[in-house]
């Protein structure tokens, strides 16, 4: 550790104000994370309820019963509707999801493909 030699013994042998502050900060951070986790879990639970409700509203009972409607399809439909079918916003939501998974190189390739697709559509509309 980068401490001066004369302070090493004191910090190792007795708690200093700095060490106490670190302990208090860690306790606070742990509580903050616990509350954040609880809130995140509640949000995910709410989202699962929304997915189930939307699935019943938009798909036939037979398709649901047979397992033909995966949650990912329902979330995709919800995202499309939420963003009013705007491809740019849907693309950004997808990129954010992959970024959250740390798929950085995949995202770079996805960005290249997206720009290529946009340039194709620009050419089509500008004819």
Residues 46-98: pLDDT tens digits?
A: 999 999 999 999 999 999 999 999 999 999 999 999 999 999 999 999 999 99
Higher-pLDDT residue of 54, 16: 54
**Amino acid 7: pLDDT:** 46
Rg, the chain, Cα only: 25
In angstroms, rounded to a whole number, what is the distance separating the alpha carbons of residues 44 and 102? Answer: 20
Is 72:56 a contact under the CB 8 Å cutoff? no
In angstroms, rounded to a whole number, what is the distance separating the alpha carbons of residues 100 and 98? Answer: 5
Higher-pLDDT residue of 90, 37: 90
**For a pLDDT cut of 70, what percent of the chain falls above it?**
70
pTM of the model: 0.65
Is 69:52 a contact under the CB 8 Å cutoff? no
Mean pLDDT of the chain: 81
Q: Which residues of 30-60 are buried (b: 16+ CB within 10 A; e: fewer)?
A: eeeeeeeeeeeeeeeeeeeeebeebbeeeee
Q: What tokens does 52 get? A: 């189930």
Higher-pLDDT residue of 69, 12: 69
**Amino acid 60: pLDDT:** 94
Q: What tokens does 109 get? A: 């390739």
Q: Does the pLDDT value for residue 11 go beyond 60? A: no
In angstroms, rounded to a whole number, what is the distance separating the alpha carbons of residues 83 and 90? Answer: 7
SS3 86: coil
């Amino acid at each position: 550790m980068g401490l001066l030699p004369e302070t090493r013994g004191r910090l190792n042998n007795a708690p200093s104000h700095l060490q106490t502050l670190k302990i208090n900060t860690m306790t606070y951070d742990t509580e903050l994370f616990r509350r954040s986790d609880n809130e995140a879990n509640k949000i995910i639970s709410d989202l699962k309820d929304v997915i189930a409700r939307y699935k019943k509203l938009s798909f036939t009972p037979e398709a649901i019963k047979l397992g033909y409607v995966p949650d990912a399809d329902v979330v995709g439909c919800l995202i499309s509707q939420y963003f009013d079918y705007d491809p740019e916003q849907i693309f950004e939501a997808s990129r954010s999801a992959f970024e959250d998974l740390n798929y950085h190189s995949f995202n770079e390739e996805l960005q290249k493909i997206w720009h290529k697709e946009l340039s194709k559509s620009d050419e089509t509309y500008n004819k």
